[in-house]
Chain A
Amino acid sequence: MAGSGLVTFGRIAFLLTGKTRLPGTCSRQTFELTISPTLPTSITKSAAAATADMSHHQQHQSTVERLDRPSTYYDKSGKRTRDDAANKEDPLKDATTLYVGNLSFYTTEEQIHELFSKCGEIKRLVMGLDRFAKTPCGFCFVEYYTHEDALDCMKYIGGTKLDERIVRTDLDPGFKEGRQYGRGKSGGQVRDEYREDYDAGRGGYGRSLQGGKEMGSEYD
C-alpha cells in the first residue's frame, strides 16, 4: 500500500518572491505552495461552495454589520467614480489574500503561521520588509487556498492579538512582487515615518522624528 502514488496531494509549484534580496542580509524569503489538485477545478470548488453557506437570506441587508467586508482602502486608491465601480467586477470577490498590519518587527513567520493557520491551511506567507534593510517592517500578506478561509480570517482573527499586538487584517486582491517592501521614505511603512507615539515593537518613535540622519535619504 505504502505510496500507491496514484492519488497524491497534488503537484506543487514554488515561487520564491523575494528575489531582490541582498546577499548577506538576514532577510526573509517567502514561500508559496501551490497545491493544484489532480482533479478538475470545478470539483474542489463545489466542495468549497458546499461549506460556504452564502444562502439567499444573506443577500438582504444584515441586521448586524459584517466584519468580513474590505476596508475602504481599495475604493480609495482606485480613484474610480461611482459608475465605474458598479460596472467593474469587484477585485476582492474571490480574494484569498489578506494584508496583515500592525505587527511587531520581531514577530516571526512561525508565529504568524501558528495563528493564521487556525483559519485554514496557508498557501503563502509574504513578510513585509524594509526596502533598504530587508528586515521585517511590521506587515505581511497571508494567502489561503480558499476565499472562505480569507473571510473567516477577517471575521475571527482581524482585531485580535498576535505577539500582544492587535493585528489589522484587510482583504487584498493578491500579492505582487514589490509589494513586500515598505513604501515609507526610510524604507519601512509610511505610518512609521511620522508616528508620534513610542512603539517598542516597531522601532520606537517615527523615523522622521528620531532625528539624525535619515536612513536611505540619499535616494531622495
Chain B
Amino acid sequence: MVDRGGRYERDNRDNRDNRDNRERDRGGFRDGGRPQHFKKRRYQDDDDRDYRQQRPRYEDPMVRLRKDVLAIAESPLIKVEDSIRSIAKSLSAHWDHEAIRKGFVTLIKTLVVEQPFKIPFVAAIVLCANAQKHEIGKLVLDEFAAQLQNYLDNCEWRNFKLTLRFMGSVSCMLDGEGVATLLNDLANLTGDLAAEGGSSGLSEELSFVVLITIPYILTSAPGGITEEFLTTLIERLEGMQVPSAVEPLLSPYSGPNAPYPPMNNTTLLLNALKDEAASGFKFEILARPWEPFLAELEAATKHFFPTITMPTALEGGTIFPKVYFSVFQGAVHETVPLQTSISSSILRDSIGDTIGLLDFNRIACARFLIDVDCYFAPNAFLKRATPFDKIPEVSEGKSTWKPEDVCVDAIFTNIFQLPQPEHKLVYYHATLTEVCKLAPQAVAPSLGRAIRYLYRNLESMDVELRYRFIDWFAHHLSNFGYTWKWTEWIPDLELSKVHPRRSFIQEAVEKEIRLSFANRVKSTLPEQYCELVPEDKEKELPDFKFESDDIAFPEEGKQLLNLIRQKAPNEEVDTLMNAITDAANNKGLPDPSKYARDMYMTCICHIGAKSLSHVLSCIERCKEKLTQLGQESSQAQRQIVGTVMRYWADQPGIGANVIDKLLNYSILTPLSVIEWVVLDAGGEVLPRGHAWEMVNTTTRKVVLRTRNLASARGEDLPEEQIATAEQQHEVAKAEQAELFKVVMEGLGRYEDGGVVVGKEGTSGEDVELLKWWAASWLRALKRQRDIEEAEEAMRVSTGSGAGAMDEDGDEDKEGGDDENAMEEEV
C-alpha cells in the first residue's frame, strides 16, 4: 500500500467521473476540428473542462482527506484498516489547520446522515485518530452532541437515530457509561408517550431508535455500557409497546391465503434482540473495522459525553407503524435473512435509510445497494451474482444471503409500504431501474423471482398495492424494451376476466400501452395475448357513435358535431339541443334531457380526441355550457362521466384523464366521479385499473384539499381570512365525509350482495370474485378514511397545542363535535 494514495486517487476519479469523462472526451474531440472563433466561444462555455485539465501539482490536504473519507470501505480491493490508519494519520498530522478541523467534522456529520452504511467505518477513523491526538475525539464529540441535540429538538428522527448510532459506535472513547444516560432518558420519554396512548406513533418510533442502536454499541470497540444495562433497557421498552389502531389496515396482505401474517418491524426487532440477549449478543452481520486497532484504542484518552436535554415539546405529524414486507419470504433457499433474525432488522433498517436518504441521486443509491456486501461483515453474504440454483452447493454454515435479493427486497418494501412510502413511487421505480442497469446479470433473476412471488400472491394483496404493482411493472418493462417472460402466464389467460391474476395481466398490458402504443406492445407479447390488445386500441380515433344508425338521434348527433366544430353561436347549439330534448319528451323516453347532454359531451370528446391539448382547448371553449349541463339534474354529472368513459371505452386511461381535468374545471364534482364508479359503472369495473385510479385520485384530491384547509387554520392570517378558511374547512370536511360515505355504502352493497354484482348471466364464481373485489376496495378506502379521521382528531387536539392549557374547555368542545361527526358517518 505504499503507492496507495496516487493509484487510489486515479482510480477513484475515473470511477466517479466516468460519465463526465466520456462527455468531456467527446467535447474535446469535437473542439479539435473547429475553427478558432468557435473554439473561443466554446472555451467560455465549457470552461470547467479546461481548468480541470491543468491539474494542480499540489493537492489541498482537505480535498485529499475528503476523497479518502468518502471512499471508505467502498472498494473491496483496498484493505479498510489501511484506509482507516492512513486517514487517521493524515488527520492528526494536519489537525492544527482550522480548515481541516472544520472540514473533517462537517464532512463526517453529513456522511453519517447520508451514507449510513459507513457509520461503523467513520467511527473507527475517529477512534483511531483520537488515539493519536485526543483533541480530535473531543471536537468530534462536542460537535456531534450539538448536532444530536439539534435533531432531537427538531424531531428529525432518522438523522437523530444515525447520529446516535455514530455516538454508540465510538463508545470506546466515552468516559464512564457514555450514551447510557441518553438511552435511559429516551426510554423514559418513550414510556411517557406510550402512557398517553401512543397514538401519534412516536413512542414506537422512539423505541425503534433506541433498540436499533444497541447492536452498534455492542459491536463497537468495548466501552462503558454493559450488556446487563442493555438487556434491562430492552425489557423496559418491551413493556412500553402499545398497539396502533390503524395497523391492522396497513398490512400488505389479508385473507386466508396471505403468505405471512402481518408483522410489525419494531416488534420483530424487539423479539430478535431478546433472542440475541439470550444467546450472548453476537450480531455477526455487523463489521468491526476497529478490531485491528484494539490495543491502541484501549490506551486512548476518553472524553466526557456531553449532556443531551430531552425536548419539552414534540412536534411532527403521525408516524405510521412500519409493517414487514418481503418478496422472498418463505422461499426454498434463505436468500434474505429470516424476518425474525436480528440480521434482518439491521439490514432492513440500514438499507431502508440509505434508500430514504439518497433520493436526490438514485444512481448513487443504486451503487450503494449493489455494493451492500462491502459494508457489513466479510462473508455475511454470498458472492455477488451467485445463481439461485447454485445455492444448495454452498457449504454448511456459510451464508446463503444473496446481496441482490437483499437490495431488491428493500426497494420493494418501500413500494409496498402503506399508507404511503416516504418518497414518490417513481423514485423507487427509477432506483430499481438503475440497479438493473448497474448489474443486469445479477439483478434480473432476483427481480424475476420477486415478480413471480408478487404475482402468486395477488389474491391476498391489498388493492392499492395491486395497483402499485401494475404501475411499477409496466413502467419497469418500458425501460427495458418490454421484455418479460409472458409465456409462463399463458395458462392464466384462460381465467375469468375478473380473476385477480387475469386482471393483473390485462391491466399491466393496458399500462404499457399508455406509456407506449398498442402496436409496439403487441409486438412484444406472445400470440396468445393478442386478445388483450384488440384492433380498436390501434385506432387513431375512437368511433363517433352517431355515425351508426342504431342509436337515437344519429342525424342530430352529426349536426351537433359540426356546430361545435365550426364554433357556431350558442343559440344555434341550444336550439338543436332543445329540439332533441323535446323530441325525446314527445317519444315518452325517460329522462329526456339526457340525450342532448350525452350528445354534447360525446361531440367534445370526439373533437378533442387527437390529443390532450385538443380536448382541453375544446372543454375550455365549451366550459360554460358543460357546467350548465352538469347542473340540469342530480344525475347529470354522473351521466357526463359515463359519456366520457363510454367514448374512451377502448382506452379508459385517457377517459380517466379527461375526467380528472373536468374535475379540475369544477365541471364535475368529486362526488359525481365516485358515484359513477361505484354506483353506475357496475361491479365489472372493480377489477379495472382505471376505475381504481379514478377513485383514488379523486379521493386524494379531496383529502388533500381538506388537509390544506386544516393547516391554514394554524397560519398567521388576518382574522377574516381565518374565518373563511375555517368555514371552508368545515365544508370540505363535510364533503369528504359524504364522499367516503357514498363509497362505503356503494361498495358495501356489492360486498354483502344487496346489489347483484355483474350483469345478468355472470357466473356464480365471477359473482364471488366481484364481491371479493368490492371487499378489497372497501378495505383500502376505509384505510384512507380512518387515517384522515385520526389525523383530523390529532389536529384538533394538538392544533390548539400552545393554547391547550388555558383553553381546555374549548378543546373539549371541539373534540366532542368531531366525535359526533364521525358517529354520524358510521
* Interface, chain A (partner B; CB < 8 A): 1-4, 6-10, 12, 14, 16, 18, 26, 28-31, 33, 35, 37-40, 42-44, 46-47, 50, 55-57, 60-68, 72, 76, 108-111, 113-115, 118-120, 125, 127, 152, 155-157, 159-164
Contact = CB atoms under 8 A, between A and B. Distances in A.
Given A57-B159, A162-B515, 11 more contacts: A3-B671, A9-B705, A12-B665, A37-B708, A43-B709, A61-B106, A63-B70, A67-B362, A108-B611, A109-B612, A152-B427
A6 B715 contact: no
Given A3-B637, A63-B114, A110 B611 contact: yes
A67 B708 contact: no
B725 interface: yes
Interface string B606-617: 000011111011
Secondary structure dominating the interface of A: loop
B712 A39 contact: yes
A34 B114 CA distance: 37
Nearest to A114: B514
B653 A114 contact: yes
A16 B732 CA distance: 32
Contacts of A7: 705, 709, 728, 731-732, 735
A162 B114 CA distance: 30
A12 B664 contact: yes
Given A47-B708, A114-B514, A31 B613 contact: yes
B312 to A, nearest CB: 20
B24 interface: no
B666 A10 contact: yes
A109 B426 contact: no
Contact of B478 (A39, A110, A156, A161): A161
Contacts of B156: 55
Interface string B93-128: 000000000000011011101110000000000000
Contact of B115 (A63, A113, A164): A63
A7 B729 CA distance: 9
B426 A119 contact: yes
A64 B657 contact: no
A43 B475 CA distance: 34
20 contacts: A2-B671, A2-B672, A4-B735, A9-B666, A10-B664, A10-B666, A14-B616, A30-B613, A39-B725, A43-B715, A63-B115, A64-B115, A65-B364, A68-B360, A109-B611, A111-B516, A114-B653, A152-B427, A155-B427, A156-B424
B354 to A, nearest CB: 11
B617 A16 contact: yes
Interface in B716-752: 717, 721, 725, 727-728, 731-732, 734-735, 738
A42 to B, nearest CB: 6
B669 interface: yes
Contact of B728 (A39, A56, A127): A39
Contacts of B721: 40
Given A7-B728, A9-B663, A76-B45, A2 B634 contact: yes
A48 B115 CA distance: 27
B134 interface: no
B481 interface: yes
Contacts of A56: 150
A37 to B, nearest CB: 8
A64 B430 CA distance: 17
B664 A35 contact: yes
Q: State the main secondary structure of chain B at its contact with A.
A: helix
B562 interface: no
B137 to A, nearest CB: 22
Contacts of B70: 63
Contact of A111 (B364, B515, B614, B715): B515
Contact of A12 (B359, B630, B666, B734): B666
Interface in B593-630: 610-614, 616-617, 620, 623, 630
Given A4-B731, A118-B424, A156-B362, A33 B664 contact: yes
Interface string B635-649: 001000000000000
B169 interface: no
A1 B738 contact: yes
Nearest to B663: A9
B651 to A, nearest CB: 9
A69 B516 CA distance: 29
Nearest to B718: A40
B735 A1 contact: yes
A67 B70 CA distance: 18
A65 B18 CA distance: 14
Nearest to B511: A114
A76 B49 CA distance: 14
Contact of B110 (A18, A60, A72, A113): A60
Contacts of B361: 64-67, 155
Contact of B425 (A18, A57, A118): A118
Interface string B554-592: 000000000000000000000000000000000000000
B266 to A, nearest CB: 23
A170 to B, nearest CB: 15
Contacts of B358: 64
Given A14-B620, A64-B114, A47 B711 contact: yes
A28 B361 CA distance: 34
A50 B426 contact: no
B433 interface: yes
Contacts of A60: 106, 109-110
Nearest to A14: B620
A4 B106 CA distance: 55
Nearest to A126: B613
Q: Which 9 interchain pairs have the tightest Cβ spacing?
A: A31-B616, A118-B426, A29-B613, A14-B620, A43-B712, A31-B613, A8-B666, A1-B738, A64-B364
Given A2-B634, A7-B735, A67-B363, A62 B114 contact: yes
Contacts of B798: none
Nearest to A12: B665
B479 interface: yes
A35 to B, nearest CB: 6
B521 to A, nearest CB: 11
A43 B672 contact: no
Interface centre among A43, A109, A119, A159 (most CB of B within 10 A): A43
A109 B712 contact: no
B360 A155 contact: yes
B708 A43 contact: yes
Contacts of A155: 359-362, 427, 430
Nearest to B670: A9
Most chain B Cβ neighbours within 10 Å, of A12, A18, A35? A12
Contacts of B705: 7, 9
A33 B658 CA distance: 12
Interface in B682-717: 701, 705, 707-709, 711-712, 715, 717
Nearest to B742: A1
A50 B708 CA distance: 11
B654 interface: yes
B417 to A, nearest CB: 16
Contacts of A65: 361, 364
Contact of B613 (A28, A68, A115): A28
B360 A66 contact: yes
A63 B516 CA distance: 37
B779 interface: no
Nearest to B159: A57
B479 A160 contact: yes
A50 B515 contact: no
Nearest to A154: B360
A61 B110 contact: yes
A6 B707 CA distance: 16
Contacts of B21: none
Contacts of B226: none
A148 to B, nearest CB: 10
B114 A46 contact: no
Contacts of A164: 478, 481, 516
B487 interface: no
B661 interface: yes
